[in-house]
């Protein structure tokens, strides 16, 4: 069975994701679509709108055949590490290819960009270091370093968010010597960070989440998500009484910062260059996550980088723990499958070189401890009995199975 892999967050699954999924299968001739999906906390340093189980169900109902979790150690990370983890999982699952959305839409341009940067690696890295020393954020430094190479007209614009991720997917595949074929699809209509809903039927996940928060009405997003997503979002709200956002976790983050020493804060992953003092001081002054972030933000650190740092503080993920867990993919956590997905796993299971987890109790807890802890902290943002229900799902929920008409 021919397969194609997608790297996703589905926060929530919307019409743009459906378009990407369908085009990926069409362009590659894949019979099976594999999604590597972030768990309860996401790459931009945010709690997911709904649980990973809810988002898995949205994916399966829309046409995905296998959903495998991207571990916390790779999910809440800068683009390079995020991409390395996701590509490694797809390679381990013997996917024939991977497909990503981009502003470019031309995979040859990504390959030329990779070759150019590799050829001028020393100059490129030196330019990044110089830009950072001048106080630039890391993404801005990358963009300037890229422009310093010259002759960029036939290359990919690395100032665009999806192009940046796409470049790192290509880089990761080359780094692990993967045989997977890369395919990219140009993003339709909505930009990655667009915050407004338009008259079109495709909007960014950012705009959809914002509309849900501002209006409190599911009907405001009805035109932008498949019917199956709409129904699942309705069911989730009935069951758990809320969608997650950072403000639900602010009291816990503030408590952590006000009760940690500077040394303890400095040991947290991504806390660098004396930020521990600034974090603790501002935590005492802020009355919401939004106000905390607004005071914390500087030119040197992007909002996303600071949010990721906050997630690691919230989950007490230290530099030592991250160094241990983010070296390589050590397991494949199966979240859900269709009948095609089940057949595909039967086909490849003897070729797997990494354990496939379908039952958490059968796997050593210390190897998956970051994921377990992250799920427990995610549940903490809910009121009882929803909190306990989410905690129990981490241990008791078997992989979801969705039977679709084929």
Q: Is 20 annotated as contributing to ligand binding?
A: yes
Three-state secondary structure call for residue 334 = strand
CATH code of domain 3-103+185-245+328-401? 3.40.50
**Any binding-site annotation on 325?**
no
Check the annotation: does 399 bind a ligand: no
Burial of 365 (0-12, 13-18, 19+ CB in 10 A): exposed
14 is in an annotated binding site: yes
> Is 10 labelled a binding residue?
yes
* 18 annotated to bind ligand: yes
15 is an annotated ligand-binding site residue: yes
The full set of domain ranges for the chain reads 3-103+185-245+328-401, 249-324
The annotation status of 9 as a binding-site residue, yes or no, is yes
- Give residue-wise pLDDT tens across range 1-15: 999 999 999 999 999
Distance CA 266, CA 262 (A): 6
132 is in an annotated binding site: no
Q: Is 230 annotated as a binding residue?
A: no
Tell whether residue 101 is among the known ligand binding residues: yes
> Please, what's the b/e burial string for 218-254 (b: 16 or more CB within 10 A of its CB; e: otherwise)?
beebeebbbebbbebbeebeeebeebbbbebbbeebb
Confidence bin at 196 (pLDDT 50/70/90): low
Region class of 333: left (phi > 0), else alpha (psi between -120 and 50), else beta: beta
- Does residue 336 have a known ligand-binding role? no
If one compares 192 and 387, the residue with the highest pLDDT of the two is 387
Give per-residue pLDDT as tens, 113-168. Answer: 899 888 888 888 888 888 878 877 777 787 788 777 776 667 888 878 888 899 99
Residue 47 binned pLDDT confidence (cut-offs 50, 70, 90): very high
pTM over 0.85: yes
Is it the case that residue 192 has pLDDT exceeding 50?
Answer: no
Are the C-beta atoms of residues 17 and 44 closer than 8 Å to each other?
Answer: no
| Residue 162 is assigned to a ligand binding site | yes
């Amino acid at each position: 069975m021919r397969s194609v892999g997608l790297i996703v967050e589905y926060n929530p699954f919307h019409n743009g994701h459906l378009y990407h999924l369908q085009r990926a299968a069409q362009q590659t001739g894949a019979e099976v679509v594999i999604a590597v999906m972030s768990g309860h906390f996401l790459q931009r340093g945010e709690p997911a709108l709904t649980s990973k189980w809810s988002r898995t169900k949205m994916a399966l109902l829309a046409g995905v055949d296998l959903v495998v979790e991207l571990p916390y150690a790779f999910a809440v990370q800068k683009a390079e590490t995020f991409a390395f983890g996701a590509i490694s999982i797809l390679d381990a699952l013997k996917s024939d290819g991977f497909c990503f959305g981009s502003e470019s839409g031309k995979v040859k341009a990504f390959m030329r960009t990779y070759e150019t940067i590799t050829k001028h690696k020393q100059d490129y890295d030196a330019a990044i270091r110089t830009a950072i020393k001048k106080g630039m954020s890391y993404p801005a430094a990358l963009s300037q370093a890229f422009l310093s190479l010259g002759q960029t007209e036939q290359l990919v614009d690395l100032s665009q968010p999806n192009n940046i991720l796409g470049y790192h997917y290509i880089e990761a595949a080359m780094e692990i010597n993967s045989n997977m074929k890369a395919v990219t699809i140009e993003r339709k209509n909505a930009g990655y960070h667009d915050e407004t809903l338009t008259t079109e039927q495709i909007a960014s996940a950012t705009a959809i989440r914002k509309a849900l928060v501002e209006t409190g009405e599911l009907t405001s997003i009805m035109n932008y998500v498949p019917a199956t997503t709409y129904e699942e979002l309705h069911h989730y709200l009935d069951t758990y009484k809320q969608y997650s956002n950072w403000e639900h976790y602010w009291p816990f983050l503030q408590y952590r910062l006000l009760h940690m020493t500077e040394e303890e804060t400095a040991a947290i992953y991504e806390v660098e260059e004396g930020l521990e003092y600034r974090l603790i001081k501002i935590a005492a002054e802020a009355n919401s996550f939004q106000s905390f972030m607004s005071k914390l933000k500087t030119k040197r650190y992007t909002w996303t980088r600071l949010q990721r740092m906050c997630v690691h503080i919230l989950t007490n993920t230290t530099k030592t723990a991250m160094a241990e867990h983010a070296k390589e993919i050590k397991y494949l956590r199966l979240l859900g499958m269709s009948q095609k997905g089940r057949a595909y796993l039967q086909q490849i299971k003897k070729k797997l070189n990494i354990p496939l987890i379908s039952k958490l109790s059968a796997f050593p807890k210390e190897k998956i401890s970051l994921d377990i802890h992250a799920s427990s902290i995610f549940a903490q943002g809910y009121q009882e009995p929803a909190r306990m229900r989410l905690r129990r799902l981490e241990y008791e929920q078997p992989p979801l199975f969705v039977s679709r008409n084929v």
